[in-house]
Structure 1
Amino acid sequence: MLFLNHGLITLISLFFITACSSSVTQIQLHELGEVVDLHTGQRLSPMQFAKQIATHDYLLIGEQHDELKHHQAQFWLLKQLQQTRAQGSIALEMLSIDQQADIAKISQNPSAYMHNLPSILRWKQSWNWAYYADLIQSAFANQTEVLATNLTQEEVQTLMRGAEPLNGYRSTTTNVQQKIADLITAQHGFETTSGKNSEIIRKMVQVQQFRDRRMAEKLAQAKTPSLLIAGNHHVNRQIGVPLHLADLAPNIKITSILLGATSENISAKDADYYWILK
């Protein structure tokens, strides 16, 4: 998720909690669109895609957070993968590292907490629980390691007050940071990027990059096969977690999957696969 006002996210999420009545599990195969292999241009059915990536150890799958079909596709893919392999870990942008102790508590005896997961996890209202409940319940039920990967609110506040810049080689170039700044500028509607706005944007870029670095650190230590669920920008090869993994653990081979609704101008520079869900 690109840096957004927390109150705004909460209002948006509460709207979707009340407005969305469809279940993440209720989707037919013909509704799952098609997947484009961005290296070859080949168009794959969801079943062909699932079989093709079943042996991949690090899957980074994106989403637009308020798109139900994206969550349905993610859950469907997880269930397909679970039929062919034991899932080692699931890493989630939606959980911050101060929730890892809650995750550990649940993991010791999942059945005792399954009826009350949001409360035990201290799930944040800024994320629509209805979209993630089935996936998280499935992970605990199958004894899959669940990893919190996001910054805490205190860490975000520290970064916004000013912090030492992140060190990196591929991940922290001026080009990468400018691309993130452009996305933030467009998303937040800054009329100008000069003066005070320039400093705010710079700090927001730092927050985004520290988020990506944290996700990369957690993935590098995760049990394999591992699946990261995060916003599309986080799994993008040009600006996100893949660059940080290349800095931290260059021997790790990742597969990046972007989700969208149209045949956008997306190439193998951005991801390995593009899942089109209309």
Structure 2
Amino acid sequence: MALSRFSPARAPRLPFLLVATLVAAALAGCSALSSDAPDAPVARRVAALLPVDALLLGEQHDAPEHHVIERETVEALVARGQLAALALEMAEEGRGTAHVAPTATEAQVRAALDWSDKAWPWASYGPAVMAAVRAGVPVVGANLPRARMKDAMADVSLDAQLGNDAYVAQQDAVREGHCKLLPESQIIPMTRIQVGRDRAMAQAIVKARQPGKTVLLIAGSGHVVRTLGVPQHLPNDVRIATVRMLAAPTLANVVPGEYDRIWQTPALPPQDYCADLRRPAKASPQ
């Protein structure tokens, strides 16, 4: 029975230490709940996840708010002296800023990362990247190089990197991700590319790992799913936290267990992402 239902004269007297314990527990519960609230400061949300060896931050690529959160996450880890490296899906494995000075220009940083502005608008990702560079923290490319993707499509060893259920689920994710328009003959080769990319990102995390610090990976949300993505390719001794940033009005489509945290952001206007894929390809000029 709640204490508020008793009159002051009849309310039972609880020992002071018990009351203090109950109050502390209630406050702790409120703190845990509020750390992931949409209006909670990013630094508080990050602190609630530490200590981890790697923080995997899954974005929706066209959500502006997600890029703001990414920069603030970099800044929060830098402020704590705990950012080991910033790893990016948006740059290829083998590219990085280890030999770039903290005072480098954005053009120099983009050259070091071989940045593709057409694929990944620098205006969206540059602030997070430069926050790391200015702090003297290495930024590393984590994605499977495009030159190796053809080989990955034919690499049957990639079929065994996930358990059977997870591999089937990854194939389904590839179908959905391509709007169910891919020929069935392309599902396995494209799934191998996805697995290869996840494995490359995991390897980048392992290489950048430092004791007592955190590697931050920024990637599409599909890559940081615990049951399918990068976490499946990390050694068991790597402590991780996975976050999905979700630009949606509700959490109705969130599957429990896929991520450790969901950071909800304002919904984007409705958009048909499959429209371009449905359009017939234009004939090349003769």
Coarse TM-score class (shorter-chain normalised): 0.7 to 0.9
Distance 1:188 1:104 in 2: 35
3-state SS of paired residue (2:243) = strand
Partner residue, 1:240: 229
Residue 58 of structure 1 aligns to which amino acid in structure 2? A
Residue 223 of structure 2 aligns to which amino acid in structure 1? H
The superposition leaves residues 93-135 of structure 1 with CA deviations (integer Å, 9 ceiling, x where unpaired) of 11102424xx3342xx242444543244321121111111011
The superposition leaves residues 200-233 of structure 1 with CA deviations (integer Å, 9 ceiling, x where unpaired) of 1100000000111111111122133111111101
Q: How does 1:195-274 map to 2 (within 5 A)?
A: 197-222=183-208, 223=210, 224-245=213-234, 249-262=235-248, 263-274=251-262
- Higher helix residue share: 1
Residue 256 of structure 1 aligns to which amino acid in structure 2? T
Q: CA deviation at 1:86?
A: 3.4
Distance 1:268 1:219 in 2: 25
Higher relative contact order (CA 8 A, sep 6+): 1
Q: CA deviation at 1:57?
A: 2.7
Q: How many residues were matched structurally?
A: 224
Partner residue, 1:86: 82
Distance 1:268 1:187 in 2: 20
TM-score by length of 2: 0.72
Computing the radius of gyration from Cα coordinates, the structure with the larger value is 2
- Give the conservation status (yes or no) of the 8 Å contact 1:63–1:230: yes
3-state SS of paired residue (2:90) = strand
TM-score by length of 1: 0.74
Partner residue, 2:168: 178
The superposition leaves residues 221-267 of structure 1 with CA deviations (integer Å, 9 ceiling, x where unpaired) of 2133111111101101111011111xxx1111110001102323324
Partner residue, 2:129: 136
Distance 1:136 1:153 in 2: 21
The superposition leaves residues 156-180 of structure 1 with CA deviations (integer Å, 9 ceiling, x where unpaired) of 12223x1232275xx5122112212
3-state SS of paired residue (2:228) = coil
Residue 187 of structure 1 aligns to which amino acid in structure 2? G
Q: Cα–Cα, structure 1 residues 256 and 158, in superposed 2: closer, same or farther, change >3 Å?
A: same
Distance 1:152 1:135 in 2: 22
Partner residue, 2:33: 42
Instruction: Pick one of 98, 107, 111 that aligns with 1:104.
Output: 98
Distance 1:159 1:252 in 2: 25
Partner residue, 1:74: 70
Q: Give the gaps of 5 or more residues in structure 1.
A: 1-40
